[in-house]
Amino acid sequence: MQRRSFLAGAAALGLARTALAQSPMGVARGPVQPTWPSLVSNYRYPDWFRDAKLGLWSHWGPQSVPEQGDWYGRFMYMQGHPMYDHHLKTYGHPSRTGMKDIMHRWTADRWDPDALIERYKKVGAKYFVALANHHDNLDCFDSRYHPWNSVRVGPKKDVVGIWEKAARRAGLKFGVSNHGAHSWHWYQTAYGYDPTGPMKGVRYDASRLARADGRGLWWDGLDPQTLYNGPYAAMPDGIDSVAAMNRWHDIHDGQWLETAPPGARGQAYVANWLLRQTDLITKYKPDLCYLDDYGLPFGPVGLQAAADYYNRSIDWHGKIDVVLTGKQLQPHQRFGMVQDVERGFSDHLWEEPWQTDTCLGDWFYNVARLNDKSYKTAEDVVQRLADVVSKNGNLLLSVPQPGNGSIDAEEERILDRMGGWMAINDEAIFGSRPWRSFGEGPTVLAAGMQNEGAAKPFTPRDVRFTTNKGALYLLFLKWPTETATVTSLAAGRWNANIGRVTLLGGGPVRHRQDAAGLHLDLPARSDGGFVPVVRIDGRGVTT
């Protein structure tokens, strides 16, 4: 399934070691150059990633503290938004209590990384990803180039470093996610003000504070402008309605921008992003780095970061044995890094490996998901995993944690049910490869990202195929209640001799094959079972 024409340089890199000469920006030099042709010609998808199939993600940071869900650090500064209302009621007005103060409340006092990693390993995860920073601009690691980090602020711990040690002790591959390239425009709401009400026109804390204001306080020595990035697009005076405020932000800072901020200060922001990225890679030697960007951020600077990562991997492993992900990649770019499809689907079998990421609930912990029982179920997750793996992809699943670092009882129950399924059916997933088609069934999934909420429920006729060690696996996305017919395996359409047909965790399955398909009589669903897997052995079944 590899496009080897794009990978002609891979063999030359296989045993190459590079002495890392450092540029002034801290970027490693080596055989991989910061150009797309060089990335594409040198990259090869690691076998460990192709075998792994399932990763678990701790998308966890200070925005988990209010337990209100995603993008708290932006929306708390937008009057009329529910998160603004929550912040005003719970913490006070954002002119006095800002996102920096939420960071101070991030305690991680119930965080047990070894216990969580062990639970995730039982679920079947083969790699674990830790959030290194988000758009709120706090580095969740011992950052050399950014003073607003989790060693100095909040839990006073090297969160990424602690996760990394726990994951590697458990034998998992370790990854990091970097979302920091978007902080500069995402945070501009912090420089705004209430357009109406008793605090009308009073600027929020980002506009009001400088380093000197922290003297004698918990943030003594830290500059809030370094956290909030500076007013690149601060809301002008005179806006006097919530609707007008929202229009302003939609136009000026609400877009998903991959460009650098304007001016000399913007150039310094980009240079600092690159230093922080290379520092993250150097310190923790991650096997995977997730970038929350379309393509690579900041044009040539993103290419420098990618080349740095690949050259360091050659130094660590003797070859490029790491995964770098990006979104909305151009076709040729998908052979120089791995495409990530956020909260979305593929409608076809990919030639190259890819990844989708999703979450049991919101990315950042939202207690409403627990209270209204709106998490994804274990069945939802396994259906998604089966679909993705059949199309040559991996699933990266986030399990939200509140600020204290625990996970709630409902999340534990979901993970335990997933683990029960894996204990029976894991051979159809891990180490598998796609068959000649991904599957069949009436449910059509629209390709794209951020569209999982529009997907229709699967039916018993929706089947996915994988192969592993000479066997063909049929994964029924809903449990059939009558004879199941798989038309892709009709006699005359498939040149193979079927031998044994077995339900994993069950026993032999009565079956017959004719011109209409392979007909299977599965036992009735019991004990809340879901996604039954049938294994087919015989000559030629995987070809």
d(Cα 83, Cα 63) in Å, to the nearest integer?
11
Mean pLDDT over all residues of the chain?
A: 94
What mean pLDDT is predicted for residues 50-65? 98
Q: Which residue spans within 214-337 are E strands per DSSP?
A: 288-294, 323-327
Predicted confidence at residue 17, as pLDDT, reads 31
Q: What is the pLDDT of residues 366-387, one digit of tens each?
A: 999 999 999 999 999 999 999 9
Strands in 484-486's sheet, in edge-to-edge order, are: 484-486, 517-521, 510-514
Question: Would you call 482 helix, strand, or coil by DSSP?
Answer: coil
The answer, yes or no, to whether residue 1 has pLDDT greater than 80, is no
Question: Would you call 254 helix, strand, or coil by DSSP?
Answer: coil
d(Cα 281, Cα 290) in Å, to the nearest integer?
11
Q: In 10 A of CB 182, how many CB atoms?
A: 18
d(Cα 281, Cα 224) in Å, to the nearest integer?
26
d(Cα 77, Cα 136) in Å, to the nearest integer?
12
* b/e code 382-421 from CB counts within 10 Å (16+ = b): bbbbbbbbbbbbbbbbbbbbbbbbbbbeebeebbebbbbb
What mean pLDDT is predicted for residues 437-453? 95
What mean pLDDT is predicted for residues 25-34? 88
Give whole-number Cα distances, 170 to 17, 47, 166, 406, in Å.
28, 19, 6, 19
The answer, yes or no, to whether residue 21 has pLDDT greater than 80, is no
Q: Which residue spans within 230-370 are E strands per DSSP?
A: 288-294, 323-327, 338-342, 354-359
What is the identity of the amino acid at 280?
L
What mean pLDDT is predicted for residues 515-535? 94
Domain locations along the chain = 4-185+259-427, 190-252, 439-539
Q: What is the pLDDT of residues 127-137, one digit of tens each?
A: 999 999 999 99
Residue with tokens 């310190």: 283
Predicted confidence at residue 464, as pLDDT, reads 98
Q: Which residue spans within 166-284 are E strands per DSSP?
A: 173-178
CATH superfamily assigned to domain 4-185+259-427: Glycosidases (3.20.20.80)
What fold, for 439-539? Immunoglobulin-like (2.60.40)
Question: Would you call 446 helix, strand, or coil by DSSP?
Answer: coil
| % of the chain surpassing 70 pLDDT | 95
User: In degrees rounded to 5, what are phi and psi of residue 511?
Assistant: -150, 160
C-alpha dihedral, 224 to 229 to 233 to 238, nearest 10°: -10
Which band of pLDDT confidence, cut at 50, 70 and 90, is reported for residue 6? Answer: very low
Q: Which residues pair with 534 in a beta bridge?
A: 474, 503
| Residue 272 vs residue 494, higher pLDDT | 272
Of the candidates 322, 280, 65, the one whose C-alpha atom is nearest the C-alpha of residue 180 is 280
Question: Would you call 103 helix, strand, or coil by DSSP?
Answer: helix
C-alpha dihedral, 234 to 236 to 240 to 246, nearest 10°: -40
Q: What is the pLDDT of residues 296-351, one digit of tens each?
A: 999 999 999 999 999 999 999 999 999 999 999 999 999 999 999 999 999 999 99
d(Cα 327, Cα 296) in Å, to the nearest integer?
8
pTM of the model: 0.94
Q: Identify the DSSP state of 258.
A: -
Predicted confidence at residue 495, as pLDDT, reads 84
Say how many Å lie between the first and final Cα of the chain, rounded. Answer: 14
Q: Tokens for 268? A: 């310094």
Predicted confidence at residue 527, as pLDDT, reads 81
What is the identity of the amino acid at 322?
V
The answer, yes or no, to whether residue 186 has pLDDT greater than 70, is yes
Q: What is the pLDDT of residues 102-116, one digit of tens each?
A: 999 999 999 999 999
The answer, yes or no, to whether residue 47 has pLDDT greater than 90, is yes
User: In degrees rounded to 5, what are phi and psi of residue 501?
Assistant: -125, 115
What is the identity of the amino acid at 131?
L
Which band of pLDDT confidence, cut at 50, 70 and 90, is reported for residue 25? Answer: low
Which band of pLDDT confidence, cut at 50, 70 and 90, is reported for residue 51? Answer: very high
| Residue 216 vs residue 11, higher pLDDT | 216
The answer, yes or no, to whether residue 11 has pLDDT greater than 90, is no
Q: What is the pLDDT of residues 236-267, one digit of tens each?
A: 999 999 999 999 999 999 999 999 999 999 99
User: In degrees rounded to 5, what are phi and psi of residue 534?
Assistant: -105, 130
DSSP strand pairing (510-514 vs 517-521): antiparallel
